[in-house]
Amino acid sequence: MLAAELRLHDVRVLVLDKEPEPASSFVRVVSLHVRSLELMAMRGLLDRLLEHGRQRPVGGVFAAIPKPAPEGLESAYLLGIPQPVVDRLLGDHAADLGAEVRRGATVTGFDQDDDGVTVELADGEHLRTRYLVGCDGARSTVRKLLGVGFPGEPSRMFTLMGELEAGAPPEEVSAKVAEVRETNKAFDFRPFGQGIYRVVVPESDPGAEPPTIEDFRRALDTLAGTDFGVHSPRWLSRFGDATRLVEQYRVGRVLLAGDAAHIHPPAGGQGLNLGVQDAVNLGWKLAARIRGWAPETLLDTYHAERHPVAGDVLANTRAQVELHSAGAVRALLTELMDFPEVNRYLIEKITATGVRYDFGAGPDLVGRRLRDVELKQGKLFDRLHRGRGLVLDRTERLTAGGWADRVDVIADPTAALDVPALLLRPDGYVAWAGDRQDELDVHLARWFGEPAG
């Protein structure tokens, strides 16, 4: 996703992937939440993803508490989709835009100076780049070599997760699962179609990595009194409830994104979404720096904005893990979620639609993402495929002036807005709202640098 965002601004980009081939046997299904689906729509990718996924209601995603989605959400579904499909579609998107991907390339070291970064590969080759971004996961080599702190809490409990076939009759599985879940909400044994079950089972005594089917059988038998005759796994994994957040997302010319910057339990299915949203926040800012028009402090806003968002995800995922076994507290929260305001607040945490960046004083809309509003000619997101800034002007009086090479203008008095006009960043967040050209110019300079000419 980051490579594609950079290519939208004609930045040369090389993706180094240590795996020689894309994962094919690992077919874990992930959830794309509302905010990620909005970002995909902004880049023209949503229809392609919808072809390969299964829409599910947004309700019931916080700690698996069975509450419907609150009324009035712009989107009331999330998309369950195999992770290799997401990887392939995003890879094709980046390649179509001109990104280069080199497989079987393992980073073993790097040195940075005032002008760039020299990257060393396992085969001894050295590459020179203006910036290096570690998108290399929870065990990030880039983060370790960078030496930045990664504080947090270690795992206190472990869970097995996988997709397997089961020999037990479906009605027997259903009855036993219902019985176990009365006292243990962390357990799940859900049919996924074609005889395959998605299995989530707590593990009291973690075995060796990677987990085996025998580990699953043992954990299932301990918890449910049966292993359901599980066999033929599609993929198996083990996770703890550790939460860690890197102290800095950027050190000089080296940056971190996704799981390289933060790890947390998978409660609510937020991990992939958090990483994609990191990438879209960073992409246009890094491109602006490389293209030479970024304000001096623009790249610093990446850490300032995304670090608190990740901190909130770490907190809510740890809370959800606790709620799976905290009977009295879970019962109380279940009652509280009958209040629409509470239900909406928690859903917006999971879906990232409640994020508000601190852009200073202004209407409540400023710092928040903008929904896909109706325009005179179609929908807003269809006008954002190029990753540029946008002035959406109901007054028909405002211009982008010297920023027209970076910012588009849509003059539409029919736009479904509660403000006269607004400035939208390339990542879909509102940077300013009002009706005065002089105020708009100040904010154009803040986010998009000096005007051309």
| Mean per-residue pLDDT, 316-323 | 90
> What's the structural domain count of the chain?
3
Nearest CA-CA partner of 305 in 375, 358, 255, 253: 358
Q: Which pLDDT value is given to residue 99?
A: 98
* 291 and 429 housed in the same domain: no
Choose one of 351, 383, 416: the last residue of a domain.
Answer: 351
Could you tell me the residue range of the domain that residue 110 belongs to? 2-152+244-351
* Residue 362 domain-assigned (yes or no): no
| Mean per-residue pLDDT, 175-200 | 88
Task: Give the pTM.
Answer: 0.91
Q: Provide the total of helices (H) and of strands (E) in the chain, helices listed first.
A: 12, 24
Decide if pLDDT at 258 tops 60. yes
* 303 and 427 housed in the same domain: no
Q: What is the CATH number of the domain that holds 190?
A: 3.30.70.2450
* Residue 356 domain-assigned (yes or no): no
pLDDT tier for residue 64 given thresholds of 50, 70 and 90: confident
Contact 283, 345 (CB under 8 A): no
Residue 324: CB atoms within 10 A of its CB come to 19
Q: Which pLDDT value is given to residue 77?
A: 86
pLDDT tier for residue 60 given thresholds of 50, 70 and 90: confident
* 8 and 99 housed in the same domain: yes
Higher pLDDT, 263 or 183: 263
* 109 and 11 housed in the same domain: yes
* Residue 368 domain-assigned (yes or no): no
* 437 and 319 housed in the same domain: no
* 233 and 254 housed in the same domain: no
Decide if pLDDT at 135 tops 60. yes
Q: Which pLDDT value is given to residue 321?
A: 85
Q: Which pLDDT value is given to residue 122?
A: 97
Question: Length of the chain, please?
Answer: 453
Q: Which has the minimum average pLDDT: 49-58, 69-78, 276-285, 361-370?
A: 69-78
* 331 and 221 housed in the same domain: no
* 138 and 256 housed in the same domain: yes
Which pLDDT tens digit goes with each residue over 383-441?
999 999 999 999 999 999 999 999 999 999 999 999 999 999 999 999 999 999 999 99
* Residue 361 domain-assigned (yes or no): no
* Residue 340 domain-assigned (yes or no): yes
Choose one of 240, 257, 291: the last residue of a domain.
Answer: 240
* 113 and 262 housed in the same domain: yes
Decide if pLDDT at 26 tops 70. no
Q: What is the CATH number of the domain that holds 393?
A: 3.40.30.120
Count CA atoms closer than 13 A to 269's CA, side-chain side: 23
| Mean per-residue pLDDT, 226-234 | 95
Choose one of 351, 385, 404: the last residue of a domain.
Answer: 351
Q: What is the CATH number of the domain that holds 30?
A: 3.50.50.60
* 135 and 115 housed in the same domain: yes
Higher pLDDT, 181 or 306: 306
* Residue 360 domain-assigned (yes or no): no
